[in-house]
Amino acid sequence: MGRPIKKTKRDAAAKGLSIKSPDVLRLLRARSSETGLGYTELLRRVLARPLVRSAAEIARIETETAAIQRRMTAKRAEFAAAGKPWPSGEHDDLYDEHGLPK
């Protein structure tokens, strides 16, 4: 681990921050370019997120995921019982052989 950021007399973090790792700087530049956010705002957003999820949050996410999977399974069964194909990302049925809308 590196040295802690020096504090000023008012116990606020020093204004300058020197990133010495070329990999971290490369990642920061890339993410800044992708998002259009400045370095300060990008770092603020990332650091404001919790480092780990709580057990309660993990349990909630797992419960929601299981409920979604159950609904999807039920819908697939409904489509199969009605003799309908499961919808897909293919939209060939919407266009003719020339690629024009039907």
Q: Where are the domains of the chain?
A: 18-49, 55-83
Measured between alpha carbons, how far is residue 68 from residues 4, 22, 65, 80 in Å?
44, 42, 5, 18
Residue 64: its H or E element: helix 55-81
Residue 39 CB neighbours (<10 A): 14
pLDDT for residue 49: 86
Q: In which band, very low, low, confident or very high, does the pLDDT at 5 lie, cut at 50, 70 and 90?
A: low
Q: Give the CA angle between residues 4, 10, 15 to the nearest 5°.
A: 55
Tens of pLDDT, residues 29-71: 999 999 999 999 999 998 898 878 889 999 999 999 999 999 9
More confident residue, 89 or 37: 37
Tens of pLDDT, residues 11-24: 555 567 788 999 99
pLDDT for residue 53: 83
In sequence order, which residues have a C-beta less than 8 Å from that of residue 38 and are 6 or more positions away? 32
Spatial contact of 30 and 22, defined as CB atoms under 8 Å apart: no
pLDDT for residue 50: 82
Q: pTM value? A: 0.42
